[in-house]
Amino acid sequence: MNADFNPLAELGRERRRQVQVRQSLKGALEQAEPGDDTLAALLEACADYLVNSMGRLDLTDMNIHNLLAARVPTDNAEVHEALQTLANRQKRARAENARLAEALYAYRQAGRSDFAVLDKALRQYHRVMSELMTPRKNPFSDYTDILFTMDDWTNIAEVSAETIATEDRLFDEVSVAAPDALKPDAFSGTHGMQRPPVSNK
């Protein structure tokens, strides 16, 4: 357990920035035709970020799953069915993340000579993840609010100086590679392609 970090704040930060990078990716894929390597550096940086970020999301979601499965009474069929749905969704997302990681590795091993391989993998990844991660109300909030302590959240999040530094570095690489209109901070961090409101000040 690491008491140096607020686990809920860090989880919120990770998930918001992951959505921002997914919004950058969506914008890049919509802007470029399949196989067009004009935004190759951005797409590579998005892939790198998302492989790490989705790995973290899978870890924390399955930590939540396992703790709830152990604490929610077994006769609460609704919650246990929802937990099974979460496990199934995470299994599919885990497989997609592994495929993207393999494509990213192959692209780099080949000296970035075949962008079409990475581009195809990213388009598939975006399609599947957009389906899996559509906006939905957290079905477990009524239970986690009651059953989980701050120590539980600390153990769930598994946040450390290293995880924060890695996420920061990968997020910064996306920002550096992106044109202004596609920088992660240009997006709201909520589902969809919403941008922050323009200030009148």
- Least confident window among 2-6, 14-18, 74-78, 191-195: 191-195
Separation of CA 120 from chain center: 19
Which single residue is written with the structure tokens 């979460």? 86
pLDDT for residue 110: 95
Sign of the dihedral through C-alpha 184, 44, 117, 103: negative
Average pLDDT, the chain: 90
Q: Under 8 Å CB-to-CB from 40, ≥6 apart: which residues?
A: 112, 115, 118
* Half-sphere exposure in the Cβ direction for 11 (13 Å, CA): 17
Q: Nearest CA to 62 among 125, 189, 136, 155?
A: 155
Cα(first)–Cα(last) distance of the chain, in Å? 43
Specify the amino acid at residue 32. Answer: A
Kindly tell me if the per-residue pLDDT of 111 is higher than 80: yes
| pLDDT tens per residue across span 46-81 | 999 999 999 999 999 999 999 999 999 999 999 999
Q: Nearest CA to 183 among 31, 42, 68?
A: 42
User: Which pTM does this prediction carry?
Assistant: 0.90
